[in-house]
Amino acid sequence: MNALLRLSRLVDAVNDRIGRATMWLVLAAVLVSSVNAIARKAFSASSNAYLELQWYLFAAVFLLGAGHVLLKNEHVRIDALSGRWSRRTQVWVDVVGLVVFLLPLCAWVTVQSWPVFAQAFASGEISTNAGGLVRWPAYLLLPLGFALLGLQALSELVKRIAFLRGLGPDPAASARAASDEDALRRTLEQERALRERRAPPP
């Protein structure tokens, strides 16, 4: 179990870094959209490549960030019933959900989407739209995103089994603590910046 927990921490670190990096893709998508709109309205010049690049960026945000969302325990939940159950029962429900639903789904999508990417990569498939982009980077996002999500699901499964066996903390509590720590750090940074602005010049 210790080896599995170390592997779980490695997966967590990878998805955390990738998730933080994909946040910048939102800004990139906004900038591309703005440039495209300005070029179209002000100069009557536009390209389908800009539109497709926006689609690629949004796809990357959602697919590559899915594992990060699961890591932070921020995915959609229906707590009308589970909120009344004991914490151990809730964790058992998570375990069943991971094993029966999420892991098979991730494996199936990854396996089914990889040949589509491989074929597009080998053929150099290009968008049928005028000025469009090559397609394989978009196709690659699907198996890559679901593979990362599947790895995170395995990590969450290990953490929940460790919790049930009394060998680890509550994963949900750990995720909340990490979020609270981030919020506290941001607050302290804002207060420090405010004090520096108010400080008299030397």
Residue-wise pLDDT tens digits, 58-90: 999 999 999 999 998 887 766 666 667 788 888
Write the CA distances from 16 to 31, 67, 73, 150, integer angstroms: 24, 8, 12, 14
Average per-residue pLDDT for the chain = 86
0.75 exceeded by pTM? yes
199 vs 143, more confident = 143
Q: What is the mean pLDDT of residues 141-167?
A: 93
Q: What is the pLDDT of residue 79?
A: 65
Give the pLDDT confidence of 11-44 residue by residue, as tens digits: 999 999 999 999 999 999 999 988 888 888 888 7
Q: What is the pLDDT of residue 64?
A: 94
Written as one letter, the residue type at 27 is: L
Residues 6+ apart with CB under 8 A from 163: 91, 169, 170, 171
Instruction: Look up residue 177 and give its two tokens.
Output: 């603590």
Decide: 51 and 36 in contact? Cβ < 8 Å.
Answer: yes
Confidence of residue 105 (pLDDT cuts 50, 70, 90): very high
2 vs 117, more confident = 117
Q: What is the pLDDT of residue 101?
A: 94
Torsion angle of C-alpha atoms 181, 182, 188, 191, degrees rounded to 10: -140
